[in-house]
């Protein structure tokens, strides 16, 4: 036999209330009619009064026992169930927070820590007692206290926020967090935030970016990143009507170093060259290793070609100094070619071609020198 679902008694439903009242009135009226048969004759008005009195006396207890008492019990039972469920939810939430691998914190509207879980304590290296004496601004690394205050106001206004931030570990290193924060007006205002440590993910993203944009040996920008910076510098120069220079460098007689002493020594030479080049240029300049022993340098925002020549001669002197590597003393030099925007071209391809040409003019002139591109003649 199929299982039959019995209807649940719910005294709060309008249909049940109407049904109970109707039954109570019907039963009470029936009882009154029977009782009136045993009473002496009376006038219409006195009969109506007796009828109403008996109805009231009979309906009231019936409604109490069959409607109001079950309804009160029903409400009390549901309140008890809801209270039990609420307590269970609170216990489950507390258990989830305690055992969560993500950090959790409760702060007030001033950013003072009110509660933290074990995961957050481990993430920052502080004990629970230490954190409860601190403010969120004490561990924030990216935001100033004023910026933190503005962020708190923003979350209060919008009710929630999802963002990334960086906080300082007790030992001083930085921890990247992904934060989900929610605000409640209860208890004078509370922020409930879950924090996921994404430091490893950030490091992986940086590693992938570096592999795609930087030379693995020298950590200099590679050809891709260099071209992007040249493109930006050209746009700026065209807008501001300023000059920039491209400088091509090729180490003289580097191949014999690799052949004689091996690639490990050759790699050390290239690293040392990269370091010396950095010391010869401004922070706004860009050095790139485009392959082998070939380097290119972008000098944005120069006043005239002589500025680039000055840098080039500084580089010649720096790379002419001896290389002391693992007991070896090596002497090298470099050949440099320079092209200037807008004198020698107005795009990257033309400037690169002319700077490369000037570099070969430098080699033909005996190496260890610099040449500025000129359509018809050399210029030192």
Measure Cα distances from 351 to 205, 208, 228, 250, 308 in Å.
33, 30, 15, 17, 14
Alpha carbons 270 and 265: distance in angstroms, whole number: 9
Angle at 285 (CA atoms; ends 284, 286), nearest 5 degrees:
120
Q: Are 277 and 334 in contact (CB under 8 A)?
A: no
At residue 151, the 3 state secondary structure works out as helix
Nearest Cα neighbor of 307 from 372, 236, 228, 220 is: 372
- Quick one: how far is CA 120 from the chain centroid? 17
Distance CA 336, CA 319 (A): 12
Assign residue 374 a region: left if phi > 0, alpha if psi is -120 to 50, beta otherwise?
beta
Give the CA count within 13 Å in the CB-facing half-sphere of 17: 6
User: How far is Cα 112 from Cα 132, in angstroms, rounded to an integer?
Assistant: 8
**Active-site residue list:** 293
């Amino acid at each position: 036999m199929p299982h039959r679902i019995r209807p649940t008694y719910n005294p709060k439903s309008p249909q049940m209330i109407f049904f109970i009242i109707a039954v109570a009135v019907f039963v009470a009226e029936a009882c009154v009619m029977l009782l009136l048969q045993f009473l002496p004759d009376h006038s219409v008005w006195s009969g109506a009064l007796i009828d109403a009195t008996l109805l009231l006396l009979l309906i009231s207890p019936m409604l109490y026992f069959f409607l109001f008492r079950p309804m009160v019990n029903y409400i009390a039972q549901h309140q008890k169930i809801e209270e039990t469920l609420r307590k269970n939810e609170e216990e489950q939430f507390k258990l989830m927070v305690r055992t969560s691998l993500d950090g959790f914190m409760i702060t007030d509207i001033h950013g003072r820590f009110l509660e933290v879980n074990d995961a957050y304590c481990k993430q920052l290296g502080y004990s629970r007692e230490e954190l409860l004496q601190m403010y969120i601004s004490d561990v924030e690394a990216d935001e100033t206290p004023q910026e933190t205050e503005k962020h708190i106001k923003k979350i209060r206004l919008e009710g929630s926020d999802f963002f990334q931030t960086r906080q300082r570990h007790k030992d001083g290193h930085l921890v990247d967090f992904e934060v989900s924060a929610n605000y409640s007006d209860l208890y004078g205002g509370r922020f409930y935030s879950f924090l996921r440590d994404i430091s490893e993910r950030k490091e992986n993203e940086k590693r992938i970016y570096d592999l795609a944009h930087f030379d693995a040996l020298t950590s200099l920008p590679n050809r891709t990143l260099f071209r992007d910076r040249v493109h930006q510098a050209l746009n700026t120069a065209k807008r501001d009507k300023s000059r920039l220079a491209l400088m091509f460098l090729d180490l003289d007689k580097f191949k014999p170093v690799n052949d004689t002493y091996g690639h490990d020594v050759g790699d050390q030479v290239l690293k040392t060259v990269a370091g010396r080049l950095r010391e010869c240029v401004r922070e706004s300049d860009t050095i790139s290793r485009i392959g082998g022993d070939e380097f290119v340098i972008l000098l944005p925002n120069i006043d005239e070609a002589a500025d680039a020549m000055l840098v080039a001669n500084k580089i010649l002197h720096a790379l002419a100094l001896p290389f002391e590597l693992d007991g070896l003393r090596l002497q090298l030099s470099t050949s440099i070619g320079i092209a200037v925007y807008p004198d020698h071209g107005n795009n990257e391809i033309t400037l690169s071609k002319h700077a490369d040409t000037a570099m070969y003019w430098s080699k033909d002139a005996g190496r260890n020198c610099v040449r500025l591109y000129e359509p018809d003649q050399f210029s030192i």
